[in-house]
Structure 1
Amino acid sequence: MKLHRRDIVKAGLGFGAGLTFAGRHSLKAQTVDVAPTRFDDGTVRSLAQNLASKSYHAPQKDLPDSLAHMTFDQFSSVQFNNEKTLWGQDHLAFDVQFFPRGYLYKQNVDVFEVINGSAHPVTCTPDTFSSRDASLNISTEAGFSGLRIRYALNQPGVMEECAVFLGASYFRAVAKGQTYGLSARGFAKDTGTPTGEEFPVFRAFWLEKPAAGSQSLVLHALMDSPSLTGAFRFTIRPGETTLFDVQSSFFPRADISAGGIAPLTGMYYFDANDRVHVNDWRPAAHDSEALQIWTGASQNIYRPLTNPTDLQLSSFSDAGPYGYGLMQRKRSFHDYEDLALHYEKRPSLWVEPVGNWGKGSVNLVEIPTPSEVNDNIVSFWRPQTPMKAGQTYNFTYRMYWGWDTPWPTHQARIHDTRAGAVTDHPDKVQFVLDFDGEPFHTVSDPAAYHLIAQTSAGSIEGITIMPNPEINGMRAFFQLDPGGAKLCELQVQLANAQGPVSETWLYRWTP
């Protein structure tokens, strides 16, 4: 599973779908007069449940040759007609624009506007899109592949893109002052398995027209794939932290043993802990630097990401987790030195379950990548009990797109993870961990602290702790002697005489 990031950054991921609903014909791009239908919070759920009882039919990808065979530059030249902006003249807090089909993004997505309990189709007309390239004949109605939601996020009265739903079941968002980074999606199936991954798609969207003055937007989505269907209700609130309240229901067509709820997808290329085979002038390049988990037993886990030589799968068993997320803690330009990509402005994304999700695991997939153009990190919740065909599964959660976790902590936190060679001992690895946070506000004497460190193989030695005045914290040194092992699972906490004072640092070392 490799998603090409340069295409994402420049044009998004457009894998929409055409769809036939009971009682009407598929909405083609040429459809301009379709009667409104009744709509309520149960409509998409009923559609998904009904669709799951039928055999899967792949969405159509029919397009004129000039659009189907576009180059990337041609696709980038396509422009949306601002006069076609949904709610553009209504002076609401939100408006919506659309992406065309074409190039790699051939599947049609149906879009509806919901007003007073009625769903009205949003149609693509010959003047919805235009292009500087006359050979494209873009006036032919191309249809939609996805949508962008706009809001005055950074300046009053200036509408800016704050969220995008585009490509398979992918979506992404930003908070105030941020730029796009990692993505989320509706469902993950067989991620990282030898059978190959299945990518469900959003086949249709319903946008509820917000009331005047409302600072939230409700969007519904219908998901489909050979293995399952799904119904989603997103309540979106942009701001200093952008919130998505998600209600999801899944209806498997087949038994699913390797499913993933609330999946997050991002990129990790390198950082100070992992520069193997990387020859780059920058200090780091990644959307996210760690997986963070707040377990049901109230343990805070911090697992730095790696760009492995081989595919790595990690599973963190839990019961009733408080949350998990792919986090970006480094927030200085000098952490990356990239004037174009500004990784320091990429969102962290935290998932907070609503209600008890029961037993399962937070899973992490790390895929080798030779560059930063591929999304190679996936994390999701996998229920312990496989999903059965013909059953219904409901998951509700809140997503926080922002600068950090949404909850404060009294614990010391990992500020940095560094790793490198040990002089005169090439078989050993030197680790350097920086801790910052509340404990050091009152006790700054390194003699008051010690390191609780263990490894699944080999041994840990040479532990030293000293103040780090640059971050008002502590720096811990230790060496790993693998002893010939090819994999070592490390676990470290900073402690004082009363016990641990930091979150738990976990790390998978491989040669």
Structure 2
Amino acid sequence: MLAYLSASVAAFTLAPAVRAQTPQANIATMMGDGQRFDPAGVTDIARQLSKKPFVPPQNDLPDVFSNLNYEQYVAIKSLQQPIWSSEGRGIALEPLHRGFVFNNAVDLYIVEDGNIRRLSYDPAQFNFNGINVPNDLKDIGFSGFRLIAQPAEGKPFDFAIVQGATFFRALGRGQNYGVIARALTLKPAEAKGEEFPIFRSFWIERPSVGSNSITIHGVLDSDSTTGAVRMTFRPGDMTIVDVETTLFPRVNLEHVGLGGMASTYFYGPNDRRNADDIRPSVYESSGLQMLNGQGEWLWRPLHNPETLQISAFVDSSPRGFGLLQRERNYDSFQDDDQRFERRPSLWVEPLSDWGQGSVQLLEIPTDAEINDNILAYWRPRAPMAANTEVPFAYRQYWGWNSPERPPLATVIATRSGRGSSGRRRRFTVDFSGEMLGDNWPKDIRSVLTVGPGSFQNLKLLPYPERKTIRVAFELDPGNENACEMRLILEAGGKPISETWLYRWTP
């Protein structure tokens, strides 16, 4: 073993063991164990891989691991210290075992001083806590990795997990994992089924001392496209991730999602379907916020519908969007295990002009809180042509709030319940902001539009002691099965609140 390798890296065997005749084997030939690392080489690998047909990952995981339930899987613990944990670099790395729903193997390469070394799996590195592991178990690889912040002051904390398909999660200090990001989203909610790209290989650069950042390079692959991804993580109270991607479509990509994210909304004050539960609310994200290309702030509360709902918010040159958790009060959830009030908000800002397209929101019916039934992403209007190279980049902010908040009153609560008769529904929407305190504008008015359907009994109820104004009204959908609503507060003929958007369905 070469002298420059750290002791913590050496604890995970470094060897060139790669399965033959696989895309991973071809990748290893181009930029694998013992070679010099070149960031441009990752892009070249994706480019060359796109010229060959997609090869599905091998189904080579022993049944003892593929048949694990969740509790058995999370009981598998590493016996090794995280890589770089003893070097004072501020960030450490822990490879993650395969099993449960994480069946696919991904090759992990460490880059130190420009040199590449592959992390090789050894069952002796893990405590299986009663799982009967075969004695002849060979190198089965890893499913992904975890990143751990080791600040000079304060306790270490996990801040990111990259595992499964092209999924990854991050959080800010003191939070619990929640919303999941996707490096690429393809054909969601289409009749032929969604296409899930996978990561083939990662090259993980050793962090520089004092940099508080780590850079990850990856190659993704699917039936329709390949891609080279570079992700730079900077952990903290708000964890920031820069994502730079170049796609190489094998075919014309008609339905592509950029900056995708998934979350859970089971029930809450505006939607109490499936609410026979001791907890008042169960959700990871309150709603979808958007700052469109015209500078308008939009807020769309989430719900768990009876049927699949797809919403498209058409825009040009979007400035940002994200799934936010606005409820930070324990009393709103009363869940001592999940602690939904600690789940991160995720905000995405394009780092280039994304042109014309739409923010798409998918709300999928679910009768279980374990399902990620909410999906949001940017869908470009123009297809991506086969045999082209398509670059895009964006910045993610994971934390308690979005980095840039509206200089307006924001929606802090949406409630819905049975109306006065028939199919009518009562709604209250609470706006809060400094301008709604003791000196709130006396000419303030609410502007509500509904289509189709109509509304009655529109009321404006100020509570200056709470810096809040409540808008109450009753929706009459008539015989319609979907009504779009738009609400904003105005004073002096100008907006003083973000725009509340909502789709009612039975």
Q: Same fold (TM over 0.5)?
A: yes
How far did 1:225 drift?
A: 0.7
CA separation in 2, counterparts of 1:277 and 1:62? 39
CA separation in 2, counterparts of 1:97 and 1:21? 23
**Structure 1 residues 181 and 104 mapped into 2: Cα distance closer, same or farther (>3 Å)?**
closer
Deviations 1:66-90 (A, max 9, x none): 334444443333211223x211222
| 8 Å CA contact 2:102, 2:163 repeated in 1 | no
Q: Does 1:401 align with 2:398?
A: yes
Q: Does 1:434 align with 2:441?
A: no
Aligned equivalent of 1:326: 323
How far did 1:443 drift?
A: 2.9
CA separation in 1, counterparts of 2:274 and 2:318? 36
2:265 to 262, 265, 268: 268
**Unaligned regions of 5+ residues in structure 2, if any?**
1-18
Q: Does 1:390 align with 2:394?
A: no
How far did 1:21 drift?
A: 4.6
Aligned equivalent of 2:366: 369
| 8 Å CA contact 2:267, 2:274 repeated in 1 | no
Deviations 1:230-281 (A, max 9, x none): 1111111111110001111111111111111111000001111111343222
Deviations 1:359-390 (A, max 9, x none): 11100001000121100000001111011110
Aligned residue for 2:422, secondary structure, equals: strand
Q: Structure 1 counterpart of 2:96, which letter?
A: F
Most deviating of 61-70 and 430-439: 61-70
CA separation in 1, counterparts of 2:27 and 2:313? 45
Aligned equivalent of 1:483: 478
How far did 1:444 drift?
A: 2.4
Q: Does 1:40 align with 2:28?
A: no
| 8 Å CA contact 1:190, 1:258 repeated in 2 | yes
CA separation in 2, counterparts of 1:50 and 1:21? 14
CA separation in 2, counterparts of 1:94 and 1:442? 47
Most deviating of 268-277 and 379-388: 268-277
How far did 1:45 drift?
A: 1.0
CA separation in 1, counterparts of 2:229 and 2:28? 22
Task: Please give the TM-score of this superposition, normalised by the length of structure 2.
Answer: 0.92
**Structure 1 residues 458 and 66 mapped into 2: Cα distance closer, same or farther (>3 Å)?**
closer
How far did 1:36 drift?
A: 1.5
2:355 to 352, 358, 381: 358
**Structure 1 residues 86 and 458 mapped into 2: Cα distance closer, same or farther (>3 Å)?**
same
Most deviating of 111-120 and 99-108: 99-108
CA separation in 1, counterparts of 2:374 and 2:254? 20
Alignment RMSD: 2.0
How far did 1:43 drift?
A: 1.8
Deviations 1:422-469 (A, max 9, x none): 23x232111101111132246326x42111110111112211111225
How far did 1:51 drift?
A: 0.5
Aligned equivalent of 1:309: 306
Aligned equivalent of 1:3: none
Aligned equivalent of 1:91: 88
Aligned residue for 2:65, secondary structure, equals: helix
| 8 Å CA contact 1:19, 1:26 repeated in 2 | no
Aligned residue for 1:374, secondary structure, equals: coil
CA separation in 1, counterparts of 2:493 and 2:72? 64
**Structure 1 residues 465 and 411 mapped into 2: Cα distance closer, same or farther (>3 Å)?**
same
**Structure 1 residues 277 and 138 mapped into 2: Cα distance closer, same or farther (>3 Å)?**
same
How far did 1:157 drift?
A: 5.7
**Unaligned regions of 5+ residues in structure 1, if any?**
1-16, 28-33
Q: Structure 2 counterpart of 1:205, which letter?
A: F
Task: Please give the TM-score of this superposition, normalised by the length of structure 1.
Answer: 0.91
Deviations 1:293-342 (A, max 9, x none): 10001111100111010001010111100000001101110111111111
1:146 to 144, 147, 166: 144
Q: Structure 2 counterpart of 1:195, which letter?
A: K
Aligned residue for 2:466, secondary structure, equals: coil
Number of residue pairs aligned between Structure 1 and Structure 2: 485
Aligned residue for 2:294, secondary structure, equals: coil
How far did 1:181 drift?
A: 0.6
Most deviating of 122-131 and 49-58: 122-131
Structure 1 runs (4+) greater than 6 angstroms displaced: none
**Structure 1 residues 49 and 470 mapped into 2: Cα distance closer, same or farther (>3 Å)?**
farther
2:409 to 412, 421, 425: 412
How far did 1:152 drift?
A: 3.0
Aligned residue for 1:414, secondary structure, equals: strand
| 8 Å CA contact 1:436, 1:474 repeated in 2 | yes
**Structure 1 residues 92 and 485 mapped into 2: Cα distance closer, same or farther (>3 Å)?**
same
Q: Structure 1 counterpart of 2:198, which letter?
A: V
CA separation in 2, counterparts of 1:454 and 1:105? 46
**Structure 1 residues 268 and 197 mapped into 2: Cα distance closer, same or farther (>3 Å)?**
same
Aligned equivalent of 1:456: 451
| 8 Å CA contact 1:100, 1:142 repeated in 2 | no
| 8 Å CA contact 2:182, 2:260 repeated in 1 | yes
Superposition pairs for residues 10-29 of structure 1, below 5 Å?
19-22=23-26, 24=28
Q: Does 1:495 align with 2:498?
A: no
Most deviating of 56-65 and 452-461: 56-65
Aligned equivalent of 1:296: 293
Aligned residue for 2:423, secondary structure, equals: strand
**Structure 1 residues 147 and 88 mapped into 2: Cα distance closer, same or farther (>3 Å)?**
same
Superposition pairs for residues 73-112 of structure 1, below 5 Å?
73-83=71-81, 85-112=82-109
Q: Structure 1 counterpart of 2:486, which letter?
A: Q
How far did 1:118 drift?
A: 2.2
Aligned equivalent of 2:7: none
Most deviating of 301-310 and 270-279: 270-279
Aligned equivalent of 2:15: none
Aligned residue for 2:124, secondary structure, equals: coil
Aligned residue for 2:341, secondary structure, equals: helix
CA separation in 1, counterparts of 2:497 and 2:147? 39
CA separation in 2, counterparts of 1:193 and 1:507? 23
| 8 Å CA contact 1:410, 1:438 repeated in 2 | no
